[in-house]
Amino acid sequence: MLSESKKMVHKKTILSHKDWQQIKQKIRPDTVPIKYRSTKVQVLADYLGSLDWDYFMTGSTGYELTLKSARRLADRYSNNLPTGSLFFWVAERFECKDGYHIHGLVQLPESNLKYDNRSKWLMGQYWQLATGNKCIQNDNDGIRWEIWNQIDNSPYMKGLGAHGYCAKYINKKKADYDLLITKPSNVYN
């Protein structure tokens, strides 16, 4: 409670529309400034943003991934995808534990899988195979794995920045990335 001598005095001020807009912009900006990106990162982000991705994925394993093992895992996962798929991946270091996990953008070719409601589920199964997970049941009741290595396949939504999020890792010292195109299994380099 304020004493009699310390009463608050409210001063009524009439602001012009221009002054009100300036104050409002300081309190709640209409546009959020984009963080500065190096030219190399911005060029890659723009390129990735120009492609029609189907999924943004994040995958991890029950075992510790090094940069080398993350690259091998990304190659195995890409090889499980249908022929003609694009897979841009980055290996990101965990903040609170040792090792890495993978973020990626997946573009499926024009195929039945691209338009099938089960494609998200099937891509999760591809991840389990790539991680070397042991299948303990595969019958009419479904597929069961010894453990479940975490995978999140979210439909790609253009304009939300997943391509820029992946691209920022090309300047990181302890990161790895690549753009993989799935070839038919009988094609050799």
Q: What pTM value is reported for the model?
A: 0.69
* Per-domain boundaries in the chain: 39-181
Residue 119 has a pLDDT of 81
175 burial type by CB count under 10 A (0-12 exposed, 13-18 middle, 19+ buried): middle
Dump pLDDT digits (tens) for 33-65.
455 556 766 777 777 778 888 888 888 888 888
Q: Hey, CA dihedral for 47, 159, 83, 135, is it positive or negative?
A: positive
Amino acid at 146: E
What are the tens digits of pLDDT across the range 94-138?
Answer: 777 778 889 898 998 876 667 677 788 888 888 888 888 887 777
Distance (Å, whole) CA 163 – CA 146: 33
Contact between 175 and 89 under an 8 Å Cβ cutoff? The reply is no
**Given this model, what pLDDT does residue 12 score?**
62
User: Which of the pair, 78 or 136, is modelled with greater confidence?
Assistant: 78
Residue 68 is predicted with a pLDDT of: 92
Structure tokens of 50?
A: 């120009």
pLDDT confidence of residue 185: 60
Interatomic CA distance for residues 60 and 189, integer angstroms:
29
Please say whether the structural domain 39-181 has been given the CATH code 3.30.70.1910: yes
Q: Give the per-residue pLDDT at 142.
A: 76
